[in-house]
Amino acid sequence: MKKILFFSHESGLYGAPRSMFELAKNLKSDYTVEIVTFGEGGLIQAANDMEIPICNCSNWLMEVNTGNEKLTKLINKIGFNLSKLLITAKVKHSNPDLIIVNTILNSFGVKLANFLGVELLVHVREGTDYFQPNNKQTAKVTSQIVEKTTNFICVSDGVKKLLLERAGNKKVNVRRIYNGIDCGSFNDTQKQKSLAIEGLENKFIVGFLGSLVSRKGLDVFLAAAIEISKTRDDIAFLVIGGTESEFIRLAKQYQASELIGNTVFHHPFVDNPRDAFDLFDIFCITSHVEAFGRVTVEAACAKVPVIASATDGSTEIILHEETGLLFPPGDSISLVDSIMRLEKDSELRQAYAKAGFERANEEFSSKKYVSECKSFIKELTDK
C-alpha cells in the first residue's frame, strides 16, 4: 500500500487535529498511515487506540525553563532543531508517497516535503489572521507556504477565496472540503450529564468550548456574561477549554474574575466534546476569526442551538434565523441580545436545534468529508 504521512502542529484534540485524525483513521484501510506531531495531548492516545503509528517529536530540551528568558529560548530552539533532524531522518526512512500538512502553522512539513521531493498536500484551516496578518513573520510564513505548495484543501469557501487571492497568478490545485462530523456519535436520545460541575444546578447554561487563544473571542463571551449578570443570577456561563491557570489569568484580564463560581464557571478541555454539549442549553462560538469552526458543527450534531459570530466559516455553517443566530464579530451587546432572545423562547431553541442537526447531517457529515478527501488524495498518489 502507498504511504501517507500526516504532520500535525499540535497533539491536543482541538478542532484541527481532531479533523485530521478523523481523516487518518478512515484512510488506514487503503493506505499505510503515520502521524508526526509535538506534545503529549489526546491525539497520541487516539492514534494508539486506532493502531496508527504516531511520532511525538518533542524532546526535553523543548520543555526547559531556566528562569532566564534568553537562555530558555536558546535551549528550546536547540531542542526544536534536534526534533527537526529527527523528523527529517524519519521521513526519509519511511519514504512516504504523500505528505499531508495539517494547517499552515506547520511550515517545516512543507519545507521538508519540498526538500525530499515528496508529493505535498496542505490542509488549510486558517483564515484572515494568516492570509491578511498584521504580523510580518506570519505573513512571511504564509507566503512561503503558498509559494512552495501546489495542492491545497481549504475548509471553507471563504478560506479558498483568501488562498486564491494570495496565490495570484500562480496555478494551484485547490478543493473546498468542509470538515466532517460523525453526527451519530452525538445522537443519543437523552443527555448523559457526565461532567459534574458544582454551582450549575438549576441554571440556564450558556456554553463556550475551545482553546483559549485570543482569536476565539473569550473576551466577547465574558463581556456578555458581565452584562447579563447585572440583572440575572439564573444564567450561567460555562467555559470548557484550556487550563485553570489560563482561564483565571484571562478572566482577570477581561475583568470577569469576580464572577467566577457565581455566574462564570470553568472546566479544563475535554477530549470528548459530547461531554460538554450535554451541559449546554445554548452554545456560543464567539471567534474574532474562524476559518470553519468544527465545534459549531459538533454543537449542531448534539442538537444544541448555536449563536455564532459572523466569520467566514460560521456563515457557511449557520444560516441566520434558520439554523441558529449570527452576530457581528466582537459585538458583545448583540451577543447579549441573541442569548436573551433564545433563553426566553424554548420553541425557537428547539427549532434551531432541529434545523441545525439536519443541516449538519446533510452538509457536514464525516462520510462526505472523508469521501471528498479520499478522491483528492487518490488523484495525487496515482500520479
226 φ/ψ angles, rounded to the nearest 5 degrees: -60, -45
**What is the model's pLDDT at position 191?**
56
29 and 125 share one domain: yes
What does pTM read for this prediction?
0.86
- For residues 268 and 244, the answer to whether their CB atoms sit within 8 Å is yes
In the predicted model, is pLDDT for residue 169 greater than 80? yes
Mark whether 102 and 129 lie in a shared domain. Answer: yes
For residue 59, name the pLDDT band (cuts at 50, 70, 90).
confident
Work out the percent of the chain whose per-residue pLDDT is above 70.
98
pLDDT recorded at residue 62:
80
pLDDT value of residue 320: 97
Confidence bin at 294 (pLDDT 50/70/90): very high
Confidence of residue 49 (pLDDT cuts 50, 70, 90): very high
Domain of residue 267 covers: 183-363
Tell me the per-residue pLDDT of 365-382, one tens digit each, with 9 for 90 and over: 999 999 999 999 999 999
Q: Which of 284, 282, 297 is nearest to 346 (CA)?
A: 282
Cβ-contact 159, 103 below 8 angstroms:
no
pLDDT digits (tens, 9 = 90+) for 242-281: 999 999 999 999 999 999 999 999 999 888 888 899 999 9
Let me know whether 216 and 99 are in one domain: no
- Tell whether 206 and 226 lie within a shared domain: yes
Q: Where are the alpha helices (DSSP H) in the chain?
A: 15-27, 42-49, 69-94, 107-116, 128-131, 136-148, 157-167, 218-229, 244-253, 273-277, 294-301, 312-317, 332-344, 346-363, 366-381
Whether 305 and 338 share a structural domain: yes
Whole-angstrom distance, CA of residue 248 vs CA of residue 268: 11
Say if residue 195's pLDDT is above 80: no
Q: How many CB atoms lie within 10 A of CB 149?
A: 23
Q: What is the pLDDT of residues 311-358, one digit of tens each?
A: 988 999 999 999 999 999 999 999 999 999 999 999 999 999 999 999
- Over the stretch 80-90, which tens digit does the pLDDT of each residue have? 888 888 888 88
Task: Give the whole-angstrom CA distance, residue 310 versus residue 305.
Answer: 15
Q: In terms of domains, do 241 and 267 share one? A: yes
- Distance separating alpha carbons of residues 94 and 33, to the nearest angstrom: 11
Tell me the mean pLDDT in the region 205-214.
95
Q: Looking at the predicted structure, is the pLDDT value of residue 138 above 90?
A: no
Count of C-beta atoms within a 10 Å radius of residue 273? 25
pLDDT of residue 188: 59
pLDDT band of residue 38 (cuts 50, 70, 90) is: confident
Decide which of 77 and 319 is more confident.
Answer: 319
Q: Are residues 188 and 161 in the same domain?
A: no
What is the domain-level CATH number for residue 42? 3.40.50.2000
Which grid cell is 290? 474562524
134 and 244, same domain (yes or no): no
Same domain, 83 and 170: yes
- More confident position, 125 or 184: 125
pLDDT of res. 128: 87
pLDDT of 120 above 90: yes
Determine the average pLDDT of the residues in 97-116: 90
What is the rounded average pLDDT for all residues in the chain? 91
What is the structure's pLDDT at 253?
A: 96
* Same structural domain, 353 and 372: no
Shared-domain flag, residues 132 and 202: no
Q: How many domains would you assign to the chain? A: 2
What percentage of the chain reaches a pLDDT higher than 90? 70
> Does 287 lie in the same domain as 369?
no
| Range of lowest pLDDT (102-111, 129-138, 154-163, 294-303) | 129-138
Where do we find the cell 498511515? 33
| 288 has pLDDT over 70 | yes
Tell me the pLDDT band of 51, cut-offs 50, 70 and 90. Answer: very high
In the predicted model, is pLDDT for residue 362 greater than 80?
A: yes
Q: How high is the pLDDT of residue 192?
A: 58
Query: Residue 180 corresponds to which cell in the numbers above?
Result: 466532517
